[in-house]
Amino acid sequence: MTTTTLERIPAAAKPAEVPELRSISLEFSSASEVHAGLEDAVAELIEVAAKDAACGILVTRLHPGRYTVALDESVPFGETYESFAA
């Protein structure tokens, strides 16, 4: 079973000059689902990142089976970084 949540800030809640922040939370019940699930999430955010070319993508492993894939301004445009939560 895979659970995916797309979170976004509503347009009315953000100033016009702040880019729309997006992240996808993923939870996997088996290791065989992780690779394909993360690839799909990254592909989804690549499309979003390409619209303004202002940031890259950060994939964070929160704990086994739980990940966040997010647009991140600390990651250069066109790149995807991986990290592990402490």
Residue 61: alpha-carbon gap to chain centroid: 11
Question: How far is CA 3 from each of CA 13, 21, 25, 26, rounded to the nearest angstrom?
Answer: 26, 20, 8, 6
Q: What is the CA 54 to chain-centroid distance, rounded?
A: 14
Model's pTM, two decimal places?
Answer: 0.73
**Residue 85 pLDDT level (bands cut at 50, 70, 90):** confident
Q: Which residue type, as a one-letter code, is found at position 57? A: I
Residues 86/64, Cβ–Cβ less than 8 Å: no
Closest CA to 39 of 11, 7, 85, 2: 2
Say which DSSP state 15 is in. Answer: -
pLDDT band at 29 (very low <50, low <70, confident <90, very high): very high
Going by pLDDT thresholds of 50, 70 and 90, the confidence category of residue 86 is low
